[in-house]
Amino acid sequence: MLLAMTTDPRTRRAPAGAAVLREDVTEAIRAAVFEELATVGFARMSIEGIARRAGVGKTAVYRRWKSKLSLVLDLVSAFAAQGLPAPATGSLYGDVRALLEVASHALRHPVASQVIPDLLVEAARNPGIADTIRSALFDSQQGVAALVVRDAVARGELPETADADRALDLILGPLYWRLVVVRGDLPKGYLDDLAASVVAALTRG
């Protein structure tokens, strides 16, 4: 991202003497967090371990995040913010199939396949994690599903009573089970068949 010079009065300057946070250090810490989560899990992860893996001191981590929880939640939110793109293929089947393709790749990412299941366990004990996961992962994807349903209703492919939450369950549920829980491979033609099944289920009402 290019930062343009501006005379906007709302632009703030760092206070005199304030530490400038180096972006390369921040990125090294983020990468270390993902590696630590995938290796030892959230419960056993420590700021010390993150700092050691990133090759920085603990103070470098604490300058950016106050705790390992705030650090992990920030990274999960940033990852989820990338979100699922809203497809516009012109048909319900095409939109569902496109979402399945993107979701299948996303669920193979280390954040999804290793980190998120561990965080879901922690979420059962920590309301802060639960709320962030819900807003970061569920809400954004629910919005995409709502767009798919809305467009299908406008084309006359679905009734006005079509439920976006149900669509999201049907699209992502089987993929999450197979790729994250069972950790199995997708057979040839699986996404095509699943897309057809999702459309059939939604059009039955």
Look-up of token digits 């304030």: 18
What's the rounded mean pLDDT across residues 158-165?
Answer: 92
Neighbouring CB atoms inside 10 A of 98's CB total 19
Task: Establish how many alpha carbons lie within 13 A of residue 15's alpha carbon, considering only the half-sphere containing its beta carbon.
Answer: 2
Given a cut of 50, whether residue 79 has pLDDT beyond it is yes
List all residues 6 or more positions away from 70 whose beta carbon is below 8 Å from its beta carbon. Answer: none
**So what's the pLDDT on residue 12?**
42
Whether the per-residue pLDDT at 8 is higher than 60: the answer is no
pLDDT tens-place string over residues 141-153: 888 889 999 999 9
Residues 6 or more apart whose CB falls under 8 angstroms from that of 142 comprise: 164, 165, 168
Residue 99 has pLDDT above 50, yes or no: yes
Residue 186: count other Cβ atoms within 10 Å of its Cβ.
14
Task: Write down the pTM of the prediction.
Answer: 0.69
- Is the predicted pLDDT of residue 39 greater than 60, yes or no? yes
pLDDT at 120: 79
